[in-house]
Amino acid sequence: MEVTFALEEIDTVAKQLLESGLKQIVVFHAPMGAGKTTLIKAIARSMGVKDITSSPTFSLVNEYETADGNPLYHFDLYRINSEEEAYDMGIDEYFYSGNMCLIEWPEKTPNLIPLDHSSITIKQLSDGKRHVTLK
């Protein structure tokens, strides 16, 4: 799936992504400031999360409750220094919990990301729109 959108269309795009059959593990690839957290917030809203979502840059992971009562985990691995550090925080327990995990900066832990995952790439276009590719 590929889609180009303006930020005011992000909730529609989030719903389309969810309807396309996202896997339990979703990794997000994009440069700093391209909108990874913004898209994750929209996905969380589409899943019925009522809590205020924010980037877990300092806590590494935020947990939210979806409309159906399941946990949704949002990871920001930017500040991880090694895969060992991520493993020590129990990242594998989250990944194999059966709950959705949305992961920013997955390239910090390439050997820990389960093979069965969805990958979203975000590109910021010169007109301010975003181009999203789901694989």
- CATH number, position 10: 3.40.50.300
Q: State how far the Cα of 118 lies from the Cα of 20, in Å rounded to an integer.
A: 11
Alpha carbons 20 and 1: distance in angstroms, whole number: 8
Structure confidence at residue 100 (pLDDT): 97
- Which pLDDT score, from 0 to 100, does residue 52 have? 67
Domain that holds residue 53: 2-134
Cβ proximity of 110 and 93 under 8 Å: no
How far apart are alpha carbons 120 and 29 in whole angstroms? 6
Amino acid 25: pLDDT:
98
> What confidence score (pLDDT) does residue 50 get?
87
Q: What is the mean pLDDT of each run of 10 residues along the chain (135 residues)?
A: 96 97 96 94 95 66 94 94 92 96 96 96 96 97
Q: How many domains are contained in the chain?
A: 1
- Give the CA angle between residues 42, 94, 85 to the nearest 5°: 105
